[in-house]
Amino acid sequence: MFEALTERLGQIFEGLTRRGALTESDVTAALREVRVALLEADVALPVVKKFIDEVHAKAIGTDVIRSVTPGQMVVKVVHDHLVQTLGAEADELRLAGAPPVAILMVGLQGSGKTTTTAKIGFRLKERDRKKVLMASLDTQRPAAQEQLKVLGEQAGVPTLPIIAGEMPVDIARRALTAARLGGYDIVLLDTAGRLHVDEALMAEAAAVADVSQPAETLLVVDALTGQDAVKVAERFTQRLKPTGVVMTRMDGDVRGGAALSMRAVTGCPIKLIGVGEKMDALDQFHPARVASRILGMGDVVSLVEKAAETIDRDEAAKLEARVKSGKFDMNDLAQQFRQMRKMGGMDGLLAYLPGVQKAKAQLAANKIDDRMLARQEAIILSMTKTERKNVKLLNGSRKRRIAAGSGTSVPEVNRLVKQFIQMADVMKKVGRMDPKLLRRHGIPGLIPRA
Amino acid sequence: MSDPRGAGVRPGLLARLKAGLARSASTFSDAIASALGSGRLDQATLDQLEEGLIAADLGVPTAAALIAGLKEERLGKEASADEVRAVLAGRIAARLAPLARPLAPDPARKPHVILVAGVNGTGKTTTIGKLAARFKAEGHRVVLAAADTFRAAAIEQLKVWSDRAGATFVAGAVGGDPAGVAFEALTRAMAEGADILIVDTAGRLQNKAALMEELAKIVRVLKRLEPSAPHDVVLVLDATTGQNAIGQVEVFQSVGAVSGLIMTKLDGTARGGVLVAIAEKFKLPIHAIGVGETIEDLQPFEADSFARALTGV
């Protein structure tokens, strides 16, 4: 349906990089593609237009013409401008002021305010050693207040006791009083999700802001948001004057288009991003990383972090030892398949890597996909333990049994065995080789060929 | 828990739906009106029309295809703003109309099992509350299963809706096995001779392999008790979501055999145009749309009014 922005820009700029000189019409053509790509990544139309205009003005100029590789120069101009638009520096929460300092959380329904509130509470407690009180002013959604209470218990952050039927402004007042009396540094006020067109609820949030005089009003936005991002940003900015944005669900397979829209329209820094379901899954926003991910340079940093999160360190060390001693067997291969699946399968992994388009085409040509991984794993699991350790045992009748057991065919079993033997050979060499070489060939060198 | 906005004088349903969708439409019709200032359909106008569709989240390929059709037919001809809108609305409605199909539980099944899935925050639990109330009002015996054992207070939230609707409520322990809850709920619904079982699941991003596997397990476990279950697997989409919704449908369909869609949050300014692209690609029935937070705010999906609201006819 739509190609990821990364791939799209990769294609465009590949064309540009190959050429020696760059004309104005080249830039215009490239930027037309950038425009489409940004739209496909859900960057809002007005933001796209402005962005393209600005880049166009920057790109067509002496810089580009005099540079040695004009294509790369355009990439750089687009990248720099993306970083600039996203906000040049990672921005911290402002916590200065006489305690208790209030932080107000606002946003649409389902954007992830309550979860984010608890994560921020946890972060301030753990990282900044602050004494934090959380209060839910959400009297709209059933059990919303209970939700914050439970999350507070999980995070070890106290919540204001719930009084049924109390109005949001009164809850805010009570929270501030309780925080003052209890010697808290920070009060987090979680409000109900509201539509930006819901005048009554917007007025209510404004009243809460009046009462609590928050040091930060954080607009919580779902990273999956489409073109509507602009309207949401405009109305919330007009009515509630947010001081920062939190993008949630950045751990989804999103390109960050909404982040660009939000930043451009609200003018507020993106302070934090939600990257998972766990309490500590809240990160600093790194504009350069997101810009790189958008531009097809691949978000290698995030990939490494993800790998560190999912791969068992001990197992990895064991595997390395086995590879070095030339003992890589079918069990290890099965383990690798499982690991890849855990990290989101082939597509999940590839999404992070540069030059994805080519790799994907290669994989498709070799018919390598997640289903194939699953079938190969099934073949291995249908082998006996001794067979897994020593593939040389596999004769015709054993192969027939394995094929039947795994619901595959003897040719498929043969193919896997052949791949394994090739791989084991490579592994033996790798074990003896200097690690730099492995790095140069990278993951594609380890993927078996059908 | 009280619902302050459910009380008091309410405008008619149709008026409310219209008001909700009209907001969706306004920007787009503005775009078309300004595009057609000259009266003759030219390339610049077509470009602006295409942008209007893109701004409504239809996505670049779908918008381009619609505009290409319009170009072939009308380029250079006199066309009023209303005519162009009507043509576009007609084209969009034609794509959507065959897919407009309300959720219709089969009375022969005791119970008819509906599994509800989606990414986090799309409005699954709220939608289930509304569905339960509707089925109950139609005289069905409804069981709700709280198989979202992950999100804090998700069980309590569904319980409130269940009480409002007067449904039977089945929940497990927080952090327990969702498939276990589904199994228990189906067992109970069968024993009680209930007409409809609706299973609420935890929100999950489609790129989380382990969570998607958990969803597949719920389906497997339901099938163990009743091979034909679940009879409906409803994917709830958020109208504010952009092109990522396409990927959501794709992945959820691959693990849970999605049988139909409900789009929520159409009462804001989001236009939900991605539904047109999704309809094109997956041909999945579209059951209903959500236009507010109260029980009556779940409306059957109507292709005509959706398309007209989208294009501002």
Give the domain-ending residue among A62, A86, A110: A86
Residues A208 and A273 in one domain: yes
Q: Does position A204 have pLDDT exceeding 80, yes or no?
A: yes
Contact B119 A109 (CB under 8 A): no
- At A9, the pLDDT band (50, 70, 90 cuts) reads low
Reference B209, options A270, A253, A53; nearest CA is A253
CB proximity under 8 Å: A 199-228 to B: 222, 224-228
Both A108 and A53 in one domain: the answer is no
User: Would you say residue A417 lies in a domain?
Assistant: yes
| Span B112-301 CATH architecture | 3-Layer(aba) Sandwich (3.40)
- Domains of chain B, residue spans: 13-99, 112-301
DSSP track, chain B: ---GGGSS----HHHHHHHHHHHHHHHHHHHHHHHTTTSB--HHHHHHHHHHHHHTT--HHHHHHHHHHHHHHHTTSB--HHHHHHHHHHHHHHHHGGGB------TTSSSEEEEEE-STTS-HHHHHHHHHHHHHHTT--EEEEEE--SSTTHHHHHHHHHHHHT-EEEE--TTS-HHHHHHHHHHHHHHHT-SEEEEEE----TT-HHHHHHHHHHHHHHHHH-TT--SEEEEEEETTB-THHHHHHHHHHHHH---EEEEE-TTSS---THHHHHHHHH---EEEEE-SSSGGGEEE--HHHHHHHHHT-
Q: Which of B3, B59, B238 sits opposite A110 (nearest CB)?
A: B238
- A363-386 pLDDT tens trace: 555 555 667 778 888 899 899 988
pLDDT digits (tens, 9 = 90+) for A37-83: 788 888 899 999 999 999 888 877 645 444 445 556 666 778 788 88
Predicted local distance difference test score (pLDDT) of residue A443: 42
- A39 located within any domain: yes
Instruction: Report CA torsion sign: A382, A384, A390, A393.
Output: negative
At B158 the pLDDT is 93
Fold (topology level) of B13-99: Four Helix Bundle (Hemerythrin (Met), subunit A) (1.20.120)
The C-alpha atoms of residue A178 and residue A69 are separated, in whole angstroms, by 62
If pLDDT is split at 50, 70 and 90, which confidence band does A221 have?
A: very high
Question: What residues contact residue A364 under an 8 Å CB cut-off, 6+ apart?
Answer: none
pLDDT tier at A2 (50, 70, 90 boundaries)? very low
Higher pLDDT, A6 or A350: A350
Of the partner residues A108, A148, A348, the one whose CB lies closest to the CB of residue B240: A108
Q: Are residues A322 and A389 in the same domain?
A: yes
Kindly state whether residues A278 and A312 are assigned to the same domain. Answer: no
Task: Tell me the sheet residues that pair with A219.
Answer: A106, A245
Compute the nearest-CA separation of A410 from chain B (Å).
28
Tell me how far apart the terminal alpha carbons of chain B are, to the nearest angstrom.
40
Domain match, A237 and A278 both: yes
Confidence of residue A445 (pLDDT cuts 50, 70, 90): very low
Complete edge-to-edge strand list for the sheet that includes strand A270-274: A132-136, A186-190, A101-107, A216-222, A244-248, A270-274, A282-284
- Name the residue in chain A with its Cα closest to that of B151: A147
CB contact under 8 A, A142 and B120: no
Same domain for A308 and A422, yes or no, is yes
Does the beta-carbon distance from A149 to B205 stay under 8 Å? no
Among B243, B278, B294, most A C-beta atoms within 10 A, so best to mutate, is: B243
Is the minimum CB–CB distance between B8 and chain A shorter than 8 Å? no
Q: Does A170 touch chain B (CB under 8 A)?
A: no
Same domain, yes or no: A332 and A437: yes
A339 touches chain B (CB under 8 A): no
Provide the pLDDT confidence category of residue A247 given band limits of 50, 70 and 90.
very high
Q: Which two tokens stand for residue A351?
A: 């999404």
| B245, B278 Cβ separation under 8 angstroms | yes
Fill in the amino acid letter for A418: K
Q: Which of A104-113, A116-125, A319-328, B258-267 has the lowest mean pLDDT?
A: A319-328
Whole-number pLDDT of residue B284? 96
Residues A224, B241: C-beta atoms closer than 8 Å: yes
More confident residue, A338 or A116: A116
Contact flag A2-B157 (C-beta cutoff 8 Å):
no
Q: Is residue A92 part of a domain?
A: no
pLDDT surpasses 90 at A362: no
Extract the residue ranges of chain B whose pLDDT is less than 70: 1-39, 81, 312-313
| Residue B274 contacts A, CB cutoff 8 Å | yes
- Which A residues in the span 250-279 are in contact with B, Cβ-Cβ below 8 Å? 251-254, 257-258, 277
Q: Which residues of A touch B210 (CB under 8 A)?
A: 342
The CA–CA distances, whole Å, from A24 to A66, A70, A188, A433 equal: 13, 11, 51, 48
User: Hey, which residues 357-376 in chain A have their CB within 8 Å of chain B?
Assistant: none
Instruction: Count the Cβ atoms, other than its own, within 10 Å of residue A279.
Output: 18
Q: Using the predicted structure, report yes or no on whether residue A429 has a pLDDT greater than 80.
A: no
Rounded to whole angstroms, the Cα distance separating B271 from B55 reads: 9
Residue B64: name the closest of B294, B293, B276 by CA.
B276
Please check whether residues A250 and A345 belong to one and the same domain: no
**What pLDDT is stored for residue A365 in this prediction?**
57
- Please give the pLDDT value at position B201: 94
Q: For residue A432, what are its two tokens? A: 């003896």
Confidence (pLDDT) at B44: 80
For A174-196, the pLDDT digits (tens) are 999 999 999 999 999 999 988 88
B254 and chain A in contact, CB less than 8 A = no
Cβ distance A258 to B242 less than 8 Å, yes or no, reads yes
- Inspect the interface and report whether the beta carbons of B55 and A227 lie closer than 8 Å: yes
Identify whether A365 is part of a domain: yes
Q: Note down the domain range covering A397.
A: 303-446
Chain A residues with CB inside 8 Å of B51's CB?
45
**DSSP 8-class letter at A225:** B
Alpha-carbon span B168 to B155, nearest angstrom: 13
When pLDDT is averaged across residues A110-123 and rounded to a whole number, the result is 95
Q: Could you say which of A86, A114, A144 is where a domain stops?
A: A86
- A271 and A370 assigned to the same domain: no
In this structure, what DSSP letter does residue A196 have? T
* Sequence-separated (6 or more) residues with CB below 8 Å from residue A2: A40, B59, B60, B61, B243, B246
The whole-number pLDDT of residue A334 equals 80
Q: Do A2 and B243 touch (CB under 8 A)?
A: yes
* Chain-chain contact of A142 with B156 (C-beta, under 8 angstroms): yes
Are B120 and A42 in contact (CB < 8 Å)? no
With beta carbons under 8 A apart, name residues in chain B contacting A343.
Answer: 209
Chain A residues within an 8 Å CB radius of B58: none
pLDDT of residue B185: 96
Band of pLDDT at residue A436, cut at 50, 70 and 90: very low
Which one of B121, B152, B274 has the shortest CB-CB distance to A151? B152
Structure tokens given for B242 = 């952009």
Domain count, chain A: 3
For residue A148, pLDDT over 60 is answered with yes
Same domain assignment for residues A323 and A373: yes
Please give the mean pLDDT across all residues of chain A: 79
pLDDT-derived band of residue A448, with 50, 70 and 90 as boundaries?
A: very low
Please identify among residues 66-125 of chain A the ones whose CB lies closer than 8 Å to any CB of chain B: 108-112, 114-115
In the beta sheet, which residues pair with residue A144? Answer: none
Lowest mean pLDDT among A139-143, A327-331, B159-163: A327-331
For chain A, positions 144-163, list CB contacts with chain B under 8 A: 144, 146-151, 154
Three-class DSSP category at A230: helix
Q: Return the pLDDT at B71.
A: 85
Q: Do B121 and A226 touch (CB under 8 A)?
A: no
Same domain, A278 and A347: no
C-alpha to C-alpha distance for B45 and B40, rounded to whole angstroms:
9
Predicted local distance difference test score (pLDDT) of residue A344: 59
The answer to whether A42 contacts B242, with C-beta atoms less than 8 Å apart, is yes
DSSP A328-359: --HHHHHHHHHHHHHTTHHHHHHTTSTTHHHH
Q: Does some domain include residue A96?
A: no
Q: Where are the strands (E) in A286-440, listed by range?
A: none
Query: Comparing A150 with B74, which gets the higher pLDDT?
Result: A150
A123 lies in the same domain as A259: yes
Answer whether A196 touches B (CB < 8 Å).
Answer: yes
CATH number at residue A65: 1.20.120.140
**Can you say whether the dihedral through the CA atoms of A239, A242, A245, A246 is positive or negative?**
negative
Both tokens assigned to A128: 């900044």
